[in-house]
Amino acid sequence: MLTSNLDPMKKIIINIFVLALVALTSCTDRFQEMNDNDYTSGDMDPKYQFTFIQAKIFSNGHEGYRGNLIMAGPMSGLTSNPQYTQGQGFNRSDSFTEASWTLLFGDITKNIEDIRVRLQAKMDNEGEENTGKLAQVAIVKVINFLRITALYGDIPYSEAGKGYSEGILYPKYDTQEEIFEQMIAELLEARTNLAAGNLFSEDYYYGGNADSWERLCNSLLMKIGIYMSAGNESRGQEVFAEAYGTGKYISALSESAILEHNESDGPWGQTTNGSGVANEGRVGGQSYQFFSDKALVSMQKLQDPRIFWVASHIDNSGSSTAAFANTSEYSNFDPFAYNDQDGDEFKYVHYRGAKEGDRPDGNRGIYMVGDNVGYSAYTITEVDEFGNSYNNLGYKFSEGGQYGQLVAVSPATILNATSPTIVFGSDEAHFMIAEAAQRGWVSADKMTHFKTGVEQAIKKYPTFFGGGDYVTRFIDLYKDQSNPSYNWEDEVQNYVSTVASNLGSNGDPLEAIVYQHWLSQIGNGYNSFAIWNRTHYPSFVKQNISGEDRSISLPVMNVDPLKDQTASKVGTQNIELHTGGITNGNRPARFPYPNREFTVNPTNANDAVRNQNDNPSSDFISAKQFMSF
């Protein structure tokens, strides 16, 4: 039987944690009342606080733009941001990396203690049975904090949010290993208590269904176990195996924890998909969320059918960033055509990713004419009176422009203001089980779970996301212009069979499993970064960029190939791609702590930095977390 590794005093601290946020519109105004009365925040119904903290971490465009689209996604190597290169360039920007911290500790955590005090007081003083609700809250707390510790490492946990209830204004930073153990204890207790009394029926994930909450609880335990694979493998195995052994984890797509979004409060409101509204350029301008070149090519080589759902050219000729939809301007459309050979002849391919680097000549350069670098364009910026589209470099899309524009994470389908958030998907659970089986942690059918994970990772898009008409339009375009026999549903099964038959035949089977897990997180840079950070897979996302990896070779053409398709190669030229950033080329293993932490909580923040000292460079952002490989 799985038990907690916490000492009794820490157990007491943990049992006190619960979540809340003051109602959706006026949370901070009532803190004075909370201060005056330890047991109430006025007449606020806890059900509103509960749904708020379920949604808030996924519904902030300011943070989604910075924490996900600029930093975590590019740091994971799955996406690339060639305009804001701090993430993929291995550099710092406090304005970008503090946003995730501020969202949790400024807008969510301070309410955790409030809802605990209120629900517990009602139990103690009025006999109201809130044990099940406290269990729900404990699970949502783990969801919130798991994201943040995977970004920052050691963070305040056991003392976080206790400024009002216990007067702890300067919380200590728990080690990540301690945090995981506290989470395990909380989840084990929550799992037992879900059956005790009523649950919140005002519940965005499951509508108060206890069986579904138990599956989510066990899936989170499995995730924490996997997160411990590098830091304490035996303990990770113990935690994973116990939760898996219950047989009650998220397995079917219909069991996934899904958060629906809407625009009832507008783009800056409390109900939008934060990363999605940022991907549409509606909370600060275009987000430049493109696919990384290596990730995209890896998909194109296997003719990955999810490309139709996740990728698009983008169009900023209107008031926001939209997926480019005018199929009449394409010729011989083929989303699977690729160019993976630097310096070769210029290839006329429709979907290009941005290369990973902080130098524009390198991350966007695709050819040279004389001494001038020819760039991939970002977006359509103008449509003339005849309906012809032009990109930001002035190329007409229906002519050469279609072959020289970066492809983005699609705002028509998986990442827009009303796209759902998959809080925990069944595909992720199956990938974790396949990984655990490969590690020898559990006696599970690795191949079955791997195949199920891959299939669900693709089918989740038509199951949960809108934009099907857009997808159909581009599938039909591909059939009309390049491949008349193409059938998307058949190709999904062909892809699943291909990657399953290749499992382990082209290298480490663990890498193949982790690659598919990583790829399943397109648009969720938090998860894709955590996956890379704990495994260093896929291996083409390198831990250290040095030597020849810091430059690329471009073909030198006699004339501009986007204007003249008779252009020919006359030479090659090496171009700088990556400077190495502030870590001498070592990929960051974390976000740095916000600058203000060293002013308002300096003793604890500095202690946390000193305690995390396994670092291949002189800058803290490359210091390993407990969970880092």
Share of the chain above pLDDT 90, in %: 87
User: Where are the alpha helices (H) located in 247-405, listed in sequence order?
Assistant: 274-279, 293-301, 307-310, 360-364
Distance from chain centroid for Cα 78: 10
Q: What is the CATH number for 214?
A: 1.25.40.390
For residues 60 and 190, state if they share a domain.
Answer: yes
Which tokens sit at 601?
Answer: 């909580």
Q: How far apart are CA 69 and CA 278, in angstroms?
A: 8
**Residue 418, domain member (yes or no):** yes
**Residue 37, domain member (yes or no):** no
User: Which range among 18-27, 84-93, 488-497, 570-579 shows the weakest confidence by mean pLDDT?
Assistant: 18-27
pLDDT score, position 28: 34
Which tokens sit at 623?
Answer: 């210091």
pLDDT score, position 504: 85
Mean pLDDT calculated for residue range 90-114: 92
**CB under 8 Å to 550, separation ≥6 — which residues?**
357, 576, 577, 578, 579, 580, 585
**Whole-prediction pTM:** 0.94
DSSP string, 169-194: -SPPPBPHHHHHHHHHHHHHHHHHHT
pLDDT score, position 61: 97
Which tokens sit at 609?
Answer: 């930095």
For residues 379 and 463, state if they share a domain.
Answer: yes
pLDDT score, position 1: 58
Mean pLDDT calculated for residue range 531-552: 97
pLDDT score, position 116: 82
| pLDDT above 80 for 374 | yes
Burial 319-347 (b: 16+ CB within 10 A, else e): ebbbbbebeebbeebbbbbbbeebeeebb
DSSP string, 466-497: S-HHHHHHHHHHHHHHT-TT--HHHHHHHHHH
State phi, psi for 406 to the nearest 5 degrees: -65, 150
> Is the distance from CB of 528 to CB of 521 less than 8 angstroms?
yes
pLDDT score, position 16: 26
Tens-digit pLDDT profile for residues 430-480: 999 999 999 999 999 999 999 999 999 999 999 999 999 999 999 999 999
Residue ranges of E strands in 229-282: 257-259
For residues 425 and 571, state if they share a domain.
Answer: yes
pLDDT score, position 72: 98
Mean pLDDT calculated for residue range 530-538: 98
Q: What is the CATH number for 502?
A: 1.20.120.840
**Residue 21, domain member (yes or no):** no
| pLDDT above 50 for 310 | yes
For residues 243 and 390, state if they share a domain.
Answer: no
For residues 351 and 448, state if they share a domain.
Answer: yes
Tens-digit pLDDT profile for residues 323-348: 999 999 999 999 999 999 888 999 99
pLDDT score, position 176: 98
Q: How far apart are CA 55 and CA 188, in angstroms?
A: 23
pLDDT score, position 471: 98
Residue written as tokens 């629906």? Answer: 260
Half-sphere exposure of 68 (CA within 13 A, CB side): 30
Which tokens sit at 216?
Answer: 């989510």
| pLDDT above 90 for 7 | no
| pLDDT above 60 for 21 | no
Please count the structural domains in the chain.
2
| Residue 564 CA: distances (Å) to CA of 146, 161, 401, 405 | 52, 62, 12, 16
| pLDDT above 70 for 64 | yes
pLDDT score, position 3: 59
**Residue 553, domain member (yes or no):** yes
| pLDDT above 70 for 246 | yes
Which tokens sit at 504?
Answer: 């382990």
For residues 107 and 186, state if they share a domain.
Answer: yes
For residues 570 and 506, state if they share a domain.
Answer: yes
Mean pLDDT calculated for residue range 119-124: 89
> Is the distance from CB of 319 to CB of 37 less than 8 angstroms?
no
Alpha-carbon dihedral 565, 571, 576, 577, rounded to 10 degrees: 40
pLDDT score, position 43: 58
For residues 390 and 450, state if they share a domain.
Answer: yes
Mean pLDDT calculated for residue range 71-87: 98
Tens-digit pLDDT profile for residues 381-430: 999 999 999 999 999 999 999 999 999 999 999 999 999 999 999 999 99
Q: How far apart are CA 355 and CA 379, in angstroms?
A: 17
Q: Assign residue 80 a region: left if phi > 0, alpha if psi is -120 to 50, beta otherwise?
A: beta
Residue 184's domain comprises 46-249
**Residue 271, domain member (yes or no):** no
Tens-digit pLDDT profile for residues 137-186: 999 999 999 999 999 999 999 999 998 889 999 999 999 999 999 999 99
For residues 453 and 336, state if they share a domain.
Answer: yes
**CB under 8 Å to 190, separation ≥6 — which residues?**
134, 135, 136, 138, 139, 217
State phi, psi for 266 to the nearest 5 degrees: 80, 180
| pLDDT above 50 for 261 | yes
**Residue 504, domain member (yes or no):** yes
| pLDDT above 70 for 482 | yes
**CB under 8 Å to 472, separation ≥6 — which residues?**
none
Mean pLDDT calculated for residue range 596-605: 98
Tens-digit pLDDT profile for residues 213-236: 999 999 999 999 999 999 999 999
> Is the distance from CB of 171 to CB of 153 less than 8 angstroms?
no
For residues 176 and 289, state if they share a domain.
Answer: no
Q: How far apart are CA 510 and CA 527, in angstroms?
A: 18
